[in-house]
């Protein structure tokens, strides 16, 4: 699908546009609440879809880009963050 990884961002932009439209007086509060309800549902569905794709990658043995460490090294334990670092 061409929108992979972009649905949540698109939803956020449309929420911002709806907020702007309400601030300009183009939407009533009732219309704004309906739009936010619909876009909130779409945003949650997009997030759920992304989480499901992430677990599919883990099941397939593919590395997670966010948690990947260059060279396959493991992060050091006790690296100075916290109380007894």
pLDDT, residue 7, reads 87
Q: What mean pLDDT do residues 53-67 have? A: 65
Distance CA 62, CA 55 (A): 10
pLDDT digits (tens, 9 = 90+) for 6-40: 888 999 999 999 999 999 999 999 999 999 999 99
* Mean pLDDT computed over every residue of the chain: 80
- What DSSP letter does each residue of 5-67 carry, written as one string? TTHHHHHHHHHHHHHHHHHTTSS-HHHHHHHHHHHHHHHHHHHHHHHHHHHHHHHHTPPPTTT
The share of the chain scoring above pLDDT 70, in percent, equals 64
Distance CA 50, CA 30 (A): 30
pLDDT, residue 18, reads 96
Domain ranges of the chain: 1-55
pLDDT of residue 85 exceeding 70, the answer is no
């Amino acid at each position: 699908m061409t929108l992979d990884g972009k649905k949540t961002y698109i939803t956020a932009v449309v929420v911002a546009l709806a907020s702007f439209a309400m601030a300009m007086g183009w939407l009533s509060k009732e219309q704004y609440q309906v739009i936010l309800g619909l876009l909130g549902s779409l945003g949650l569905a997009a997030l759920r879809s992304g989480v499901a794709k992430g677990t599919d990658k883990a099941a397939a043995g593919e590395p997670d880009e966010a948690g990947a460490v260059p060279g396959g090294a493991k992060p050091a334990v006790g690296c100075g963050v916290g109380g007894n670092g």
